[in-house]
Copies of this chain bind each other. A is one copy, B any other.
Amino acid sequence: MAALWMARCGIKTRVVDKRDATVRAGQADGIQCRTLEILDSFGIVDRICKESCHMPEMCMWNPDRDGLIHRSSRIPNTIKGLSRFPCGVLLAQHRIEAILIEEINQYPTVHIHHNVEPVSIDIDNNNTHDHTSHAIRVKLKQVERGHLNHATNGVSSSPIRKLEHARQGDQETVHARYVIGCDGAHSWTRAQLGFCMEGEQTEYIWGVLDIIPLTDFPDIRSRCAIHSAESGTIMVIPREDGLVRIYCQLSTVAPGDDGRFDRSRITPESILEAAQKIIKPYKLDYKYRDWWTVYQIGQRVGNHFSAQERIFLAGDAIHTHSPKAGQGMNVSIQDTYNLGWKIAMVVKGIAKPSTLKTYETERRSVAQELIAFDQEYSRLWSSRPKKAITDQDGINIADFERAFLQQQLFSSGFGVHYGPGLLTAHDSSSNGWVAKCPAPEGKTANGEGQGVASSHQPLATRTVLGKRFPSFKVINHCDARSWHLGERIKSDGLFHIVLFAGDVSQPSQMDRVLCFAREMAERADTIPLHRGRVLFESQHNASTQDRGGVARLLTVHSALRRCVEMHAFPPLLLPYDEELGYDYDCIFVDEESYYQGHGHAYDGYGIDRTRGCVVVIRPDQHVAWIGELEDVSGLEAYFRRFLVQPSD
């Protein structure tokens, strides 16, 4: 994800991966709805949705009075209406990686090198204050090829054999402005920086089998929680290509004196045996196994997310937890989705380096929520059902189901809420929010103690500052095509200023719109607007067109199309180019479409249909600022805080 951002933003980047190409089996597989939206913003979600297993349903199986498992409920696996992607999907990590790499390779500035690992990393402390300096020196060396893919047990130590006596020519030194360590739970980068993980190891031990199951269990193609009376718990996750992932609690494995268990005693056969006990009287067996592993749940967060905002850590390198909530790959992708555009803007000299401090303030709170979530979630999964009301050790199944429903919002990825800070304005109509979400460790969420821009949340009651901008169907004014507004907001490193223009069929409202456009035009220096067209899916070359600017302006009005001609809008809202003519993709309407109903977007965003408002969306689609059409100076103040100004 970090590399994909760099590719889209045209930043010269090297990816080094000690693995031989990609893993072929196992590892992560769950993609939550929010991650699907992110992948869509890069134009690659359709490939992923096509290959993957969709998982609309969750089935709960619990012991009946006789101790036999039975289906106690079937519920939707995701809360309805959260996203234009109705439910999460499952696909092997190696396929997701392959699709990301295929996309990255369409762009010229990113180079991916496999079988290369770092030897050392140093920061030149004399130069870190100057963010244009290549202050980081990383030594790299080649790794012998072709050993990793034999590993089918995810817990074995890395099978890469190093070239112990590498010749000088095999080493290379790279001078970099920034480094991101996305190197996993055993992060080499983290170790080099002397950072550590803080948190606890639990006693819960689980085995994982990726198999094509031979079974008469009727819900094997749904997500299932199977709590047996005495033998532990299974989570069933259906997968693409007939595969099923089975997470099976290994209740019989006792940890050793050091609190760690003896992995060598666990085999795929012993995991299967444990699963068979839980799932009986149904049969479970397999002939084809794709992968297996075993893990002990530990919940930890890194003590630092970056060194001087020059070397960053992301993903498992800063948070580890149990895999069963399907969060790992998602939260990790979202770490660098938060970070990538910030680095790109600083590298390009558009944003101040202090912008980079928001990475840790924003993502640390997500990591901490993840851990808190996972502690509760793992406990519920790993405990046996109560036998009687007086049974202190067991969990109440109704509690499990209630907790599952509550946690769906978190699981879907839409719970993420960045606090007020340099990149997210606070709501001037209320002081409550900041108090409710204090920044961690006494820092302000801002990250550098500056004041936070003011914004007016009540103008868009369902478009929450700091949360991701929701999506509703609207119609292109110029061609009547129906779009989810979210589909028009691509990840290309630009902010989006959405002018909810209100009912422009009323002359007084159109006057407000014209006035907004004039005021914006006068501020072209402080808020330079992007003049390029929205990328066409078919034209990768077009993506490298750099028409400058930091924000794209989109208009969504609430009048009927037939009551307003597009040429009534001022040139700022309907840009004209001498070679390409008008840009017909920037004015949208909240109206009934020909074939796909009415999106009721103004209702969905909680915006007044007559008066509208202005919403600023960050390049990662989080809501940054909300104001009146007249508050262009407030909008300018928001951008001035972090954009390098011509006078700087």
Contact = CB atoms under 8 A, between A and B. Distances in A.
Interface of A: 43, 46, 50-51, 54-57, 74, 76-78, 80, 86-87, 95, 212-216, 218, 220-222, 238, 240-242, 287-288, 476, 478-482, 533, 536-539, 562, 565-567, 578-581, 584, 593-596
A232 B218 CA distance: 67
B213 A581 contact: yes
A537 B288 CA distance: 20
A277 B438 CA distance: 67
Contacts of A562: 74
B56 A593 contact: yes
B241 A536 contact: yes
Given A56-B481, A216-B567, A222-B479, 12 more contacts: A54-B479, A56-B593, A74-B480, A74-B562, A212-B579, A221-B478, A221-B479, A221-B584, A240-B538, A241-B536, A242-B584, A287-B579
Given A479-B222, A595-B76, A46 B50 contact: yes
A50 B537 contact: yes
B581 A214 contact: yes
Contact of A241 (B46, B57, B539): B539
Contacts of A77: 594
A86 B238 contact: no
Contacts of A212: 579-581
Q: In this complex, which of A213, A214, A584, A596 has the most chain B Cβ atoms within 10 angstroms of its Cβ?
A: A214
Given A241-B536, A538-B240, A578 B287 contact: yes
Contacts of A220: 478, 584
Given A51-B537, A479-B222, A56 B579 contact: no
Contact of A240 (B80, B240, B536, B578): B536
Contacts of A566: 218
A57 B579 contact: no
Contact of A56 (B214, B218, B595): B595
Contacts of A215: 581
Contacts of A213: 581
Nearest to A285: B581
A481 B86 CA distance: 11
Contacts of A57: 479-480, 594
A241 B580 CA distance: 10
A565 B218 contact: yes
Nearest to A596: B86
Given A538-B95, A581-B214, A533 B80 contact: no
Nearest to A211: B581
A264 B579 CA distance: 28
> What 5 pairs between A and B have smallest CB-CB spacing?
A86-B595, A221-B479, A57-B480, A51-B538, A76-B594
Contacts of A218: 478, 565-567
Nearest to A223: B479
Contacts of A581: 212-215, 242
A56 B539 contact: no
Contacts of A476: 221
Contacts of A537: 50-51
Nearest to A242: B580
Given A216-B567, A479-B221, A87 B242 contact: no
28 contacts: A46-B46, A50-B538, A51-B537, A54-B479, A55-B479, A56-B479, A56-B482, A57-B480, A74-B480, A76-B595, A78-B595, A80-B594, A87-B595, A218-B566, A218-B567, A220-B584, A221-B478, A221-B479, A222-B478, A222-B479, A222-B480, A241-B538, A241-B539, A242-B580, A242-B581, A287-B578, A287-B579, A288-B580
Nearest to A54: B481
Contacts of A596: 86
A531 B596 CA distance: 38
A281 B156 CA distance: 75
Nearest to A47: B46
Nearest to A214: B581
A73 to B, nearest CB: 10
A538 B87 CA distance: 20
Nearest to A287: B579
A50 B77 CA distance: 28
A240 B584 CA distance: 12
Contacts of A536: 51, 240-242
Nearest to A483: B54
A42 to B, nearest CB: 13
